[in-house]
Amino acid sequence: MERTILHNLILNEEYFRKVLPFIKEEYFQDHIEKTIFSVVTEYADKYKSVPTLEALGLELQKKTVTEEEFKKVNEYLEDLDDELTKIDEQYLLDATEKWCKDKAIYNAILNGIHIIDGKDKNLTPEVLPKLLGDALAVSFDSHVGHDYIEQSEDRYEFYHEKEEKIPFDLDFFNKITKGGLPNKTLNIALAGTGVGKSLFMVHVAASCLMQGKNVLYITLEMSENRIAERIDANLMNVTMDDLHDLPHHMYESKFERIQKKTKGQLIVKEYPTASAHCGHFRSLLSELALKKDFKPDIIFIDYLNICASSRFRHGAIVNSYTYIKAIAEEMRGMAVEYNLPIMSATQTTRTGFVSTDIGLEDTSESFGLPATADLMFALISTDELQELNQMLIKQLKNRYADPSYYKKFIIGVDRSKMKLYDVSQSGQDDVVDTGQGEEIVDRFADFKV
């Protein structure tokens, strides 16, 4: 196979351009073949074209090889020149891809043995899942962009296909997202301390679980048991206080009913504050896949500002704008990589904490966060709203729909049970910018129209 690959790399320009970016020098075991491939890649990098046999011979003279090695290389090249067997191009590409994957897996296993034996001082056994994962992910990506003219039919099908989304159990959130959260997105709730960021995420996580989805809840603020306690209160429909007073048989009975209603799983993982970044989360996902055969459909991270960045070392001299923006970009990158939505939250500034009309400018620490997020909305609470057990939602950024459509709306809150619910239509009629086309007087005098 190695001879066939080198033969076609040198004498088949179309094959050369398709496969060269994916083949690595380490895939070749024979020293002669490795030397020839290294010269081919160096020539391609420099001249952006396929080297001829004559050019290869001249380049090999510059390499630090012995006279005997040079003779063997020339003999090898002469033999290649005689091998003119025509092979089906698609078959050749498929065979080359399989060869690359097999070699990558073999090298990963070999490197893993060296790491376990302690021969590699720079790596620890924790990297083994990533080594094997990267090897198994080797593939030839032939996609080079969307051809606007030739792929018009593909676009038409795209316009009419139903995008996979995870719906909310709150009517107005489904309206503003056109049916729920799509994959490959970062969604952010903005609120002041104690308003209900964790309550919102716990409720949505519980809702996703009851839809049969696999949910991963990462917490850097509260303990795993505290998050699970809130989800219990939500799903069992009991107050937090009553939850602790439930007899064991009643607790078991309620939990069995929850189990019968869903086929999904919910994993809660706690990390110390400001110590975990997307690298840790990727390792967690690999570990869950290996140990529990668990692949999440949605991830909740509570919350973004107290995560670390994988690009900036802890304590590095970097401003908060850059640091928080980096965390947001890394999270969105992870959402794209794993093809799922990520829901997180962020704090308001001190001004935003006392404001009854929060805007994007009230995002604490970094304006780079709203620039990166796909959906961002504010959770607003006032004394009057608290008395009514309600919370005002204000759209701040929306890539799924027109953000002026239902700009503000009300949802009900049962803090004792960690639940959110829709309020009646009459409860929305006093809110400005609902998108319902009516001239309505705002009962909250501080709200801006």
Is omega for the bond preceding 421 within 30 degrees of 0, making it cis?
no
Q: At what angle do helices 67-82 and 53-62 cross, to 10 degrees?
A: 170
- Among 28-37, 201-210, 422-431, the range scoring the smallest mean pLDDT is 422-431
CB 240 within 8 A of CB 416: yes
Alpha carbon distance 107, 115 (integer Å) = 12
Number of Cβ within a 10 Å radius of residue 408: 23
CB 225 within 8 A of CB 194: no
Residue percentage of the chain with pLDDT more than 70: 90
Instruction: Check residues 442 and 88 and name the one with the higher pLDDT.
Output: 88
Phi, psi of 341 (to 5 degrees): -85, 145
Confidence band (pLDDT; 50, 70, 90) for 314?
low
What pTM, to 2 d.p., does this model score? 0.70
| Structure tokens that stand for 173 in this block | 């959130």
Residue with tokens 């439930």: 246
| Structure tokens that stand for 275 in this block | 């110590």
- Among 25-34, 298-307, 439-448, the range scoring the smallest mean pLDDT is 439-448
Alpha carbon distance 301, 82 (integer Å) = 60
* Bridge partners, residue 341, by sequence: 185
Average pLDDT over residues 293-319: 85
Confidence band (pLDDT; 50, 70, 90) for 449?
very low
Average pLDDT over residues 412-438: 72
Alpha carbon distance 449, 431 (integer Å) = 10
Ranges in the chain annotated CATH 1.10.860.10: 2-136
The CATH fold of domain 165-428: Rossmann fold (3.40.50)
CB 220 within 8 A of CB 271: yes
Domain 2-136 top-level CATH class: mainly alpha
Ranges in the chain annotated CATH 3.40.50.300: 165-428
pLDDT, tens digit, for every residue of 186-199? 999 999 888 889 99
pLDDT at 39 over 90: no
Alpha carbon distance 168, 185 (integer Å) = 15
In the β-sheet with 185-191, what is the strand arrangement from edge to edge? 266-270, 215-219, 298-302, 341-347, 185-191, 375-380, 390-398, 408-414, 419-422
